[in-house]
């Protein structure tokens, strides 16, 4: 067992972020070597600190399930140019631990049960058909703009009670927050705009409740000894609005690219009533849109994969690497749409596992099957350029995807 304090220096390699241009779905090739030789290894992060990079599936699950691994750094990610350990803002559920996190999650979890999400399937199907109808009125489209972004945006706006007319503005701000190219002032401005917009909406719901998630969340909180504050409600609303469409939209476009590469994959997706569910799990594993992993902070000494991570040190759970772990998934760098891949880590693991995962699954199932069934001649209008991939964003995806049929 090693007991090495993470420290800066020339011996500490940089965080692996390079995807092969010829294989844009594959994470950095370094992960294959790390899983075999150094599954818990120090890396230098662009945020200015060193961290332990955890690359094996079992170790990643261990990190994400351990209450001694705090998620207070989760919202900053490790790729930001600077970071300080400010206390998380009230309501920042992904950055809160213990009872504070449990309190918020308990109030919200009832909105995302399998039963509630399945009840949305006809609505999602209607939206998907409408988007395909609009596409088929022409002979070409940008699948990001015309299909993948509108579907989850419409769904999350409907759930929250946010006017869809505002979607263009919140999509622009979401893109700023999910990337690393904007400076601090631009990011802060985008965050303030989203908070202001959701705050105004929440103030309205406090006076005039409606049949939407925000109104029910307010009522549920008021029934407890500690009602939710406007600040907490705003933070939760921003989280759901941003996370509720960014990850799903990017999964739709990348999954479509993967499916268009092979007629056999299209047939497998459409082959049986339950085929879509199995195929989507494999695509979630293979694509792994949370491309730089999840950040954690050790509050006590913790042993991970035989290495002692000391209190005060940072850890990155490399989700894309865990989803390509050869000890868990046979031939992990290939797509097998019949694979039983539900053990994947695309939604995280442990107490902070994605609360909206069932909604994402249904949207992907409906969107992909509808698109390929109704547009059988769908194909890329031209080969995708490396610059069109979001290689430096928290969520991997495409900025545009020109298609014809």
Average pLDDT over residues 78-101: 72
In order of 75, 237, 279, 309, 355, the CA distances from 93 in angstroms are 10, 11, 30, 25, 11
**Among the ranges 73-77, 151-155, 164-168, which has the highest mean pLDDT value?**
151-155
Residue 334 pLDDT class (50, 70, 90 cuts)? very high
Q: Which residue has the tokens 């046979």?
A: 330
Average pLDDT over residues 131-154: 95
Run of H or E residues at 105 = helix 98-109
Q: What is the pLDDT of residues 182-213, one digit of tens each?
A: 777 887 888 888 888 889 999 999 999 999 99
* Mean pLDDT taken over the chain: 89
Residue 73 pLDDT class (50, 70, 90 cuts)? low
pLDDT at 75 over 60: no
pLDDT score recorded for residue 74: 63
- Is the model more confident about 47 or about 235? 235
Q: What is the pLDDT of residues 284-320, one digit of tens each?
A: 999 999 988 999 999 999 999 999 999 999 999 999 9
pLDDT score recorded for residue 89: 79
329 phi and psi angles, rounded to 5 deg: -120, 115
CA pseudo-torsion sign 142, 147, 149, 153: positive
Share of the chain above pLDDT 90, in %: 67
pLDDT at 3 over 60: no
| CATH pick for 30-404 out of 3.40.630.10, 3.40.50.1860, 1.10.630.10, 3.40.1160.10 | 1.10.630.10
Give the DSSP per-residue string, 338-388.
TS--TT--TT--GGGS-TTHHHHHHHHHHHHHHHHHH-TT-EESSPPPGGG
In order of 280, 369, 371, the CA distances from 270 in angstroms are 11, 6, 11
**pTM listed for this prediction:** 0.92
Alpha-helix residue ranges (DSSP H) falling in 210-316: 213-222, 230-260, 263-270, 275-287
* Cβ proximity of 120 and 370 under 8 Å: no
pLDDT at 83 over 50: no
Distance between CA atoms of 178 and 249, rounded to whole angstroms? 13
Distance between CA atoms of 169 and 150, rounded to whole angstroms? 13
pLDDT score recorded for residue 271: 83
Q: What is the pLDDT of residues 205-249, one digit of tens each?
A: 999 999 999 999 999 999 999 999 999 999 999 888 888 788 999
Distance between CA atoms of 401 and 256, rounded to whole angstroms? 10
List the structure tokens of 177.
């927050």
3-state secondary structure string across 287-327:
HCCECCCEEEEECCCEEECCEEECCCCEEEECHHHHCCCCC
């Amino acid at each position: 067992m090693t007991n090495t304090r993470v420290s800066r220096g020339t011996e500490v390699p940089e965080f692996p972020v390079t995807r092969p241009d010829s294989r844009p779905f594959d994470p950095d090739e370094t992960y294959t070597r790390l899983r075999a030789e150094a599954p818990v290894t120090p890396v230098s992060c662009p945020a200015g600190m060193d961290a332990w990079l955890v690359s094996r599936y079992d170790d990643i699950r261990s990190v994400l399930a351990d209450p001694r691994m705090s998620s207070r750094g989760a919202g900053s990610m490790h790729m930001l140019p600077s970071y300080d350990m400010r206390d998380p803002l009230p309501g920042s559920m992904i950055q809160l631990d213990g009872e504070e996190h449990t309190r918020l999650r308990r109030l919200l979890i009832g909105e995302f049960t399998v039963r509630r999400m399945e009840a949305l399937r006809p609505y999602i199907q209607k939206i998907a058909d409408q988007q395909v109808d609009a596409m088929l009125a022409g002979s070409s489209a940008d699948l990001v703009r015309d299909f993948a972004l509108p579907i989850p945006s419409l769904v999350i706006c409907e759930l929250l009670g946010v006017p869809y007319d505002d979607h263009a503005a919140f999509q622009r701000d979401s893109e700023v927050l999910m990337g690393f190219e904007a400076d601090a002032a631009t990011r802060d401005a985008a965050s303030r705009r989203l908070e202001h917009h959701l705050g105004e909406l929440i103030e309205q719901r406090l006076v005039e409740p409606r049949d939407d998630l925000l109104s029910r969340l307010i009522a549920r909180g008021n029934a407890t000894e500690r009602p939710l504050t406007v600040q907490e409600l705003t933070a939760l609303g921003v989280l759901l609005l941003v996370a509720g469409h960014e990850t799903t939209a990017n999964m739709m476009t990348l999954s479509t690219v993967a499916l268009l590469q092979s007629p056999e994959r299209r047939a497998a997706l459409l082959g049986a009533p339950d085929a879509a569910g199995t195929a989507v799990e494999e695509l979630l594993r293979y694509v792994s849109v949370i491309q730089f992993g999840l950040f954690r902070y050790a509050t006590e000494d913790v042993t991970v994969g035989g290495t002692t991570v000391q209190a005060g040190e940072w850890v990155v759970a490399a989700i894309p690497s865990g989803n390509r772990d050869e000890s868990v998934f046979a031939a992990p760098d290939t797509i097998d749409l019949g694979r039983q891949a539900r053990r994947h880590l695309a939604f995280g693991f442990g107490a902070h596992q994605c609360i909206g995962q069932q909604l994402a699954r249904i949207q992907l199932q409906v969107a992909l099957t509808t698109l390929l069934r109704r547009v059988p001649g769908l194909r890329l209008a031209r080969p995708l350029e490396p610059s069109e991939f979001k290689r430096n964003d928290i969520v991997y995806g495409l900025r545009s995807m020109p298609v014809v049929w």
